[in-house]
Amino acid sequence: MGVEPLKREREEVPVTPTTVRPTLTPPPSIGNKLRRLAFQLAWAVFARWTPAPLHAWRCRILRLFGAQIAGGAAVYPDVTIWAPWNLQLAAGACLGPGVDCYNVAQVSIGRDTTVSQRTYICTASHDHRDPAFPLVTAPVQIGAKGWLAAEAFVGPGVEIGEGVVAAARSVIVRSVPAWTVVAGNPAHSVATRPPF
C-alpha cells in the first residue's frame, strides 16, 4: 500500500450550502445499520487508539467510508461520528477531542473552523406531537473561520454563519448570523466580531 502524494491531501472540498427543512425520516435500513457497524469496527481497530497528531490517517479512514474531507482537516481519535458519508470538512476544519457528531443528515463544517472538545452536533430529533415519535432530520451547516467552544450543542437545522464564536456550553437551536458571538441556553448574541 503506497502513500498518496501530499498534493491529494491538500485538494479542496467545497462546503455546499444546505436548504434547511426538517423532514420525517424512516428508521435506518438494515443496509444502513450494517454500513455504520462496519465503520464503527474500522474506527475502533484503525483509528480510536491512534496518537492525536495522526489526523491525516484518520481522515483517510473517514474518506473510505464516504466523508468529504479536504486536506489539512483534523479529526481527533475519540470523536464519535454516526455516518461518515454525511460529513463534509473543509480545509483546516477541526473536530476536537470527544466531539459527538450525530449526523443522520448532512453536517458541513467550513474552512478553518474549530469544533472544540465534547461539542455535540445533532441533526436528528423526534416529533413529540406524534405518539409514534417519528425521527425528524435536518442538516447542520457551520461556516468558515468559526469556533464552537467546549461542550456546545448544535441542534438540527441550524446554520451557523462565517466567523461565529459560540461560548462554552452554548445551546444553539436557531441559526446564527455571521461574525456573531453567542452564549447561553438558548444561545443569544452577546457581541459581534470584525470580519477578517
Distances in Å between the Cα of 36 and the Cα atoms of 24, 80, 103 are 20, 12, 12
- How many domains does one find in the chain? 1
Q: Is residue 15 part of a domain?
A: no
pLDDT per residue, tens digit, the chain (196 aa), is 444 444 444 445 454 444 455 666 777 889 999 999 999 999 999 999 999 999 999 999 999 999 999 999 999 999 999 999 999 999 999 999 999 999 999 999 999 999 999 999 999 999 999 888 889 999 999 999 999 999 999 999 999 999 999 999 999 999 999 999 999 999 999 999 999 8
The pTM assigned to this predicted structure is 0.86
Domain that holds residue 86: 29-192
CATH number of the domain within which 55 lies: 2.160.10.10
Q: Is residue 19 part of a domain?
A: no
Q: Is residue 39 part of a domain?
A: yes
Q: Is residue 168 part of a domain?
A: yes
- Grid coordinates of 59: 481522515
Q: Is residue 133 part of a domain?
A: yes
Backbone dihedral angles phi then psi of residue 116, each to the nearest 5 degrees: -75, 175
Q: How far apart are CA 65 and CA 42, in angstroms?
A: 10
